[in-house]
C-alpha cells in the first residue's frame, strides 16, 4: 500500500499513525510513504515508530502517479491512502478509474468536524476539537450543535481564548468565518442535523454519548 502524507506548514504526523498502524494490523508486507520535500522530522519519526521502511521525498499529484503506476524509484502499490489538496484528490480519483492504476481510500475534501455537546461537555475541550480542524486550512468547516445556549456561549469564549495562543490563528479565523455554532431544541435535533450533514469527523460530548451513537447514520 502507498501512504500519502501532506507536508507544508502543518506536517500531519498523526496521519502517519492513523494510516500506517492499520496497514501493519492488516498484515501489509510493503508500505510505501510519500511526502512533499523537505519531509518534516515529525513525519519521519512517526514513520519509524510504525515500521515504514520505504519513504520518498515527493508530493502532489506526481506522488500519486508514482504510487499508482510505479517509477524508477517508487514501487507501484495496490491501494493509496491519505489526504491532500485538490490536485492530490483529483489525481487519486483519476488513477482509481484506470485498470492499470490503483485503488484509493476515498476522495477527501477540506477538513471538517461536527461536535454534538450538551451541558455535560467541557467548553475548553469542545473549543480545542473545533480549532484542531479549523487550523488545517481556510476552507475547513467546524460546527457545534447543542441544545444548551450557555454551552454555546462558553465554547465561543473558549475559542477566542485559545485562538490567542494558536500558531495558525490566522488560518483558523478564516475557517471560522464560514463555521457555525447552532443551538437546537434538543439532542434529537442535533442528531438529525448531523445525519443530514454527514461530517468527516463527528465528536459527541454529551452525558449519554453511547446512546446517541446508536442513532448516528
3-state helix, strand, coil in the chain (%, to 5): 45, 15, 40
Angle of helix 13-25 relative to helix 41-49, nearest 10 degrees? 20
User: Per the structure block, which three cell numbers stand in for 4?
Assistant: 500519502
Domain count, the chain: 2
Examine the pLDDT at 33 and tell me if it is beyond 90. yes
Q: What is the pLDDT of residue 56?
A: 98
209, 119: one domain: yes
Residue 54, judged by CB atoms within 10 A of its CB (0-12, 13-18, 19+), counts as middle
116, 100: one domain: no
CA–CA dist 141, 157 (Å, integer): 18
Active site positions, annotated: 200-201
79, 100: one domain: yes
User: Per the structure block, which three cell numbers stand in for 122?
Assistant: 467541557
pTM of the model: 0.75
187, 140: one domain: yes
pLDDT in tens, 161-214: 999 999 999 999 999 999 999 999 999 999 999 999 999 899 999 999 999 999
- Where does a domain end: 56, 78, 104? 104
> Containing domain of residue 73, as a range?
2-104
**CATH code of 165's domain:** 3.40.50.1980
CA–CA dist 80, 67 (Å, integer): 7
State mean pLDDT over 44-50: 97
Amino acid at each position: 500500500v502507498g501512504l500519502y502524507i501532506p507536508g507544508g506548514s502543518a506536517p500531519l504526523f498523526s496521519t502517519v499513525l492513523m494510516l500506517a498502524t492499520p496497514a501493519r494490523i492488516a498484515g501489509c508486507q510493503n508500505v510505501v510513504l510519500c511526502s512533499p520535500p523537505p519531509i518534516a522530522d515529525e513525519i519521519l519519526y512517526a514513520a519509524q515508530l510504525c515500521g515504514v521502511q520505504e519513504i520518498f521525498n515527493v508530493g502532489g499529484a506526481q506522488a500519486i502517479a508514482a504510487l499508482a503506476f510505479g517509477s524508477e524509484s517508487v514501487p507501484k502499490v495496490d491501494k493509496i491512502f491519505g489526504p491532500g489538496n485538490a490536485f492530490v484528490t483529483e489525481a487519486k480519483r483519476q488513477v482509481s478509474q484506470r485498470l492499470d492504476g490503483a485503488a484509493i481510500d476515498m476522495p477527501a475534501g477540506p477538513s471538517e468536524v461536527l461536535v454534538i455537546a450538551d451541558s455535560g461537555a467541557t467548553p475548553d475541550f469542545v473549543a480545542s476539537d473545533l480549532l484542531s480542524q479549523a487550523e488545517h486550512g481556510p476552507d475547513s468547516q467546524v460546527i457545534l450543535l447543542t441544545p444548551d445556549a450557555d454551552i454555546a456561549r462558553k465554547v465561543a469564549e473558549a475559542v477566542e481564548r485559545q485562538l490567542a495562543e494558536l500558531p495558525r490563528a490566522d488560518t483558523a479565523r478564516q475557517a471560522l468565518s464560514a463555521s457555525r455554532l447552532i443551538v437546537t431544541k434538543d439532542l434529537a435535533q442535533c442528531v438529525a442535523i448531523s445525519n443530514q450533514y454527514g461530517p468527516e469527523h463527528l465528536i459527541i460530548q454529551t452525558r449519554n454519548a453511547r446512546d446517541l451513537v446508536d442513532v448516528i447514520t
